[in-house]
Chains A and B, each alone.
Chain A
Amino acid sequence: GQQVMQIPQYQHVQEGEDFTTYCNSSTTLSNIQWYKQRPGGHPVFLIQLVKSGEVKKQKRLTFQFGEAKKNSSLHITATQTTDVGTYFCAGLQAGTALIFGKGTTLSVSS
């Protein structure tokens, strides 16, 4: 069946280091969304990418959608302690519901 794989599962960084999480789909996606879940909280929408090769930035966060629309990445520059949480990608294939990856849990030590 359709799958969205996300790596790594866990990542620990020192404050100020960069962080990247990768998302890969077995099928071509209509769009990809990214969510952040703080510890003890619920997922919150960050961004949606629709176009092949699209790159979007939100302050220190950079989101990319692959040319083949099968992969995506989220890169955080100079992490801060406020970045801790689990980051999920979620892919949408035409006619189906969103499929979430298992998430990457980021921890940051100061």
Chain B
Amino acid sequence: DGGITQSPKYLFRKEGQNVTLSCEQNLNHDAMYWYRQDPGQGLRLIYYSQIVNDFQKGDIAEGYSVSREKKESFPLTVTSAQKNPTAFYLCASSIVGTSGNYEQYFGPGTRLTVT
């Protein structure tokens, strides 16, 4: 059963703690993405990676970090420097073609609550 998995579905943390969200895909996609979704804000890009061991900042990268050591995995760390970390986090992947990136496949998301 191919797809993207994110775990856990719900995550609770105390303020000041770093937390890592997992994202795994078995679609053999080169590109992976992390988005943050807040009510009324749509999807905002945090980081993306088009190849192993390389990634780029998106629009709201401050307070977040990522790694891409394997093609299948793109974990996101929400650091204590992120001022407002409570949100719904979505991971996605896509193939990369000569005319740009193709449709993105999204995972089920992780809802992070920091108190």
Contact = CB atoms under 8 A, between A and B. Distances in A.
Interface of A: 1, 6, 9, 30-31, 33, 35, 41-45, 48, 50, 88, 90, 92, 94, 97-103
- Chain B at the A interface: SS class: strand
Contacts of A88: 42-43
Contact of B42 (A1, A42, A94, A101): A101
Nearest to B106: A42
Interface in B58-110: 58-59, 90, 92, 99-109
B33 A97 contact: yes
B2 interface: no
Contact of B100 (A35, A43, A92): A92
Contact of B99 (A30, A90, A100): A30
B113 to A, nearest CB: 16
B104 A45 contact: yes
Interface residues of B, number: 25
B45 interface: yes
A31 B106 contact: no
A82 B58 CA distance: 33
B108 A48 contact: no
27 contacts: A6-B42, A33-B103, A35-B104, A41-B108, A42-B90, A42-B106, A43-B43, A43-B90, A43-B104, A43-B106, A45-B105, A48-B103, A88-B42, A90-B104, A94-B100, A97-B45, A97-B58, A99-B45, A100-B35, A100-B42, A100-B43, A100-B44, A100-B45, A101-B42, A102-B40, A102-B42, A103-B42
Contacts of A45: 103-105
A37 to B, nearest CB: 9
Contacts of A99: 45
